[in-house]
């Protein structure tokens, strides 16, 4: 396992929490959400199949001359929703750089991935944690998060220029694409029936049979998330932050995400069982703003080499606008 500063820091934090609050060790089974980790591992395999099928590159290639970067923003949001935001960044950012060598579009394309990921319960790690903790119905989850994504996505599409074209031809692997789609549908159905282990086994077996190799599962990320679940979940139990109603929950979640990232913010706040929709929108919209607010932001910066402060300015502006609109809808319409 490669050396990872974040992993080392979380090991140290977990040890410190265990020493300071030894009673939390008796809550390990409750704190570490095994179901969420299994679901994440499953969707990592499916994401790898989507990547190997070249589906999103093919879509981008076919539509790039019909709207350029504006179309790429929509494709990026779709990739974030289906692939999980961290995985989507690894190939949407290179596509954006190929279409726009200046890199000026990177903050907005990264934001599109993050906004898209908020729509589905498996679009990012914090959504998986909330989905499994509150046992929200799959369709209900989407219907509750989709409205909040529309305005920021519209702003992103409007702000991007209708230029940029991919020239390199890619071949769609129809067999892998079809299998990935079938596995996605089957996995959602099995997870809804609390059969996530069967979903994982099915995805793993399918991948091994068609590729004759073991899929690339990011065990580092899974271990990091498990350590976060223990350390920040323990702090959540100790602190028991009472954040009030939906509006307060959303604002606290978004603000806390700016300081410690949205997954730890989720793990701390979820122990108080706040309204799930407000928590979800808070930590997901909170993934905008500072680069540290979401791990996917740091991935985008690392892949593109884009200026840290310029990236922050664009994302903070999107964060303020998005939260402002949600504050109005909360006061007027009760959403969230």
What sign results for the dihedral spanned by CA atoms 318, 304, 295, 112?
Answer: positive
Average pLDDT score over residue span 30-35:
93
The average confidence (pLDDT) of the chain is: 91
- C-alpha closest to that of 1 among 295, 223, 300, 303: 223
What is the distance between the alpha carbons of residues 208 and 160, in angstroms, rounded to a whole number? 40
Kindly write down the DSSP assignment for every residue of 200-223, as one continuous string. HHHHHHHHHHHHSS-----HHHHH
Do residues 236 and 224 lie in contact, with contact meaning Cβ atoms separated by under 8 Å? no
| Residue 263 confidence (pLDDT) | 95
- Choose the weakest-confidence range: 54-58, 81-85, 94-98, 278-282: 54-58
pLDDT digits (tens, 9 = 90+) for 216-253: 888 988 999 999 999 999 998 888 877 888 999 999 99
Note the pLDDT of residue 95: 87
* Measured distance between the N- and C-terminal CA atoms of the chain, rounded to whole angstroms: 41
Q: What is the DSSP string of 131-194?
A: HHHHT--HHHHHHHHHHHHHHHHHHHHHHS-S-----S-----HHHHHHHHHHHHHHHHHHHTT
Per-residue pLDDT band at 330 (split at 50, 70, 90): very high
pLDDT over 70 (residue 156): yes
Residue 41 predicted with pLDDT over 70: yes
Average pLDDT over residues 251-262: 95
Residue with tokens 């913010």: 265
Whether the Cβ atoms of residue 40 and residue 125 lie closer than 8 Å to each other: yes
pLDDT of 164: 67
Q: What is the mean pLDDT of residues 252-281?
A: 95
* Residue whose token pair is 């499994």: 132
Q: Are 308 and 301 in contact (CB under 8 A)?
A: yes
- Going from the C-alpha of 247 to that of each of 141, 148, 207, 281, 306, the distances in angstroms are 18, 14, 43, 10, 33
pLDDT tier for residue 13 given thresholds of 50, 70 and 90: very high
- 101 or 183, higher pLDDT: 183
Rounded mean pLDDT of 154-162? 92
pLDDT band at 162 (very low <50, low <70, confident <90, very high): confident
Give Cα 181 distance to the centre of its chain: 19
Say what the pLDDT of residue 333 is: 92
pLDDT at residue 167 in the model: 64
Q: What is the pLDDT of residues 172-203, one digit of tens each?
A: 899 999 999 999 999 999 999 999 999 999 99
CA 212 → CA 26, 51, 167, 215, distances in Å?
A: 41, 17, 32, 9
On the 0-12 / 13-18 / 19+ scale of CB atoms within 10 A, 172 is middle
Of the ranges 22-26, 129-133, 282-286, which one carries the lowest mean pLDDT score?
22-26
Q: Is the model's pLDDT at 64 over the cut of 70?
A: no
pLDDT digits (tens, 9 = 90+) for 274-294: 999 999 999 999 999 999 999
Is pLDDT above 80 for 2?
no
Angle at 108 between CA 59 and CA 4, to 5 degrees: 95
Closest CA to 111 of 296, 325, 305: 296
Give the DSSP per-residue string, 288-309.
Answer: SSSGGG-HHHHHHHHHH---HH
Rounded Cα distance, 185 and 170, in Å: 26
The answer on pLDDT for 295 being more than 70 is yes
The DSSP annotation for 26-51 comes to GGHHHHS-HHHHHHHHHHHHHHHHHH
- Using the predicted structure, report yes or no on whether residue 1 has a pLDDT greater than 60: no
For the cut 80, the answer to whether the pLDDT of residue 65 exceeds it is no
In degrees, rounded to 5, the angle at the alpha carbon of residue 83 between the alpha carbons of residues 80 and 86 is 70
């Amino acid at each position: 396992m490669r050396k990872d500063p974040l992993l080392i820091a979380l090991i140290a934090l977990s040890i410190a929490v265990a020493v300071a609050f030894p009673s939390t060790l008796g809550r390990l089974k409750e704190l570490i959400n095994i179901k969420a980790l299994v679901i994440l591992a499953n969707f990592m395999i499916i994401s790898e199949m989507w990547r190997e099928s070249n589906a999103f590159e093919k879509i981008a290639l076919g539509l790039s001359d019909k709207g350029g970067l504006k179309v790429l923003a929509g494709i990026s949001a779709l990739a974030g929703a289906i692939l999980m935001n961290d995985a989507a960044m690894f190939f949407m950012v290179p596509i954006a750089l190929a279409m726009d060598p200046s890199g000026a579009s990177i903050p907005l394309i990264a934001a599109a991935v993050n906004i898209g990921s908020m729509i589905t319960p498996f679009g990012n790690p914090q959504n998986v944690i909330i989905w499994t903790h509150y046992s929200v119905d799959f369709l209900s989850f989407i219907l509750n998060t989709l409205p909040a994504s529309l305005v920021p996505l519209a702003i992103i599409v409007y702000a991007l220029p209708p230029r940029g074209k991919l020239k390199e031809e890619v071949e769609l692997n129809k067999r892998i694409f079809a299998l990935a789609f079938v596995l996605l549908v089957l996995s959602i159905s099995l997870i809804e029936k609390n059969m996530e282990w069967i979903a994982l086994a099915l995805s793993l077996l399918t991948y091994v049979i068609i590729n004759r190799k073991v899929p690339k599962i990011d065990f580092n990320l899974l271990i990091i998330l498990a350590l976060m679940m223990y350390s920040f979940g323990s702090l959540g139990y100790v602190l028991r932050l009472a954040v009030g109603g939906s509006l307060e929950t959303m604002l606290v979640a978004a603000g806390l995400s700016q300081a410690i990232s949205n997954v730890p913010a989720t793990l701390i706040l979820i122990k108080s069982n706040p309204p799930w929709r407000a928590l979800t929108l808070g930590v997901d919209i909170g993934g905008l703003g500072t680069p540290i607010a979401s791990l996917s932001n740091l991935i985008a910066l690392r892949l593109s080499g884009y200026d840290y402060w310029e990236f922050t300015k664009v994302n903070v502006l999107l964060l303020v606008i998005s939260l402002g609109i949600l504050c109005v809808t909360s006061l007027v319409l009760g959403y969230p």
